[in-house]
Amino acid sequence: MKIKETHIKDCFVLEPTVFEDDRGYFFESFNQKVFEELSGQRVSFVQDNQSFSSKGVLRGLHAQAGDYAQAKLVRVLKGKVLDVAVDARKDSATFGQHFSIILSDKNRKQLFIPRGFYHGFVVLSETAEFFYKCDNLYHKESERGVIYNDPQLAIDWKVPEQELVLSEKDKELPPFRELV
């Protein structure tokens, strides 16, 4: 496994070593010991989540606050998405900045998003199966969100606005400046 730093501290792209032959392929998607050695981050995942979405579906930007904040390791099992992490750590040099990456079943990349970030993704393929590990359990009362088209964040979602599909809840999220 290779781990690459992004321009945002503690946010990493993971690239597995893939072994392919005429039978198919095999790769180790996560190894805690290797991850901790290469990233310097200690993490213990306690919950796995998976979603299925159609082209243009945008889920985000979401986080959990306080004692229920979550670090996530996200990847795509089938299809292709643009994945976005927004740094909301007030003491961070990259506060208010975002990192985006294409994740797909073809490139098999993963993104590690530390606690203190908002996270979202949009489906670029006809459908996508999205999978992620969390280091803290879901807690409804700790849910937070930021509107996907916040001008301060200026995220290019790579999908025309009129083609985006959002939940009613995600359409009404507040701007970034109101939550930090």
Counting as low any pLDDT under 50, the low residues of the chain are none
Quick one: which of 135, 143, 139, 101 has its CA closest to 118? Answer: 143
Q: What is the arrangement of strands in the sheet containing 143-145, beginning at the earlier edge strand?
A: 98-104, 80-87, 117-123, 58-64, 143-145
- The whole-number pLDDT of residue 180 equals 59
Kindly state the tokens that stand for 156: 């290019």
Kindly state the tokens that stand for 115: 């606690």
Residue 173 is classified by DSSP as P
148: region left, alpha or beta (phi > 0 left; psi from -120 to 50 alpha): alpha
Helix, strand, or coil (residue 100):
strand
Strands 127-134 and 47-54 come out as: antiparallel
Which residues carry out catalysis? 62, 132
Residue 35: φ, ψ to 5°: -60, -50
Handedness of CA 4, 132, 137, 92 (dihedral sign): positive
Quick one: which of 81, 151, 69, 136 has its CA closest to 109? Answer: 81
Domain 2-179 = CATH 3.10.20.600: no
Q: Considering the entire predicted model, what is its pTM?
A: 0.95
- The whole-number pLDDT of residue 31 equals 95
Domain boundaries, given as residue ranges, for the chain: 2-179
- The whole-number pLDDT of residue 79 equals 98
Helix, strand, or coil (residue 70):
coil
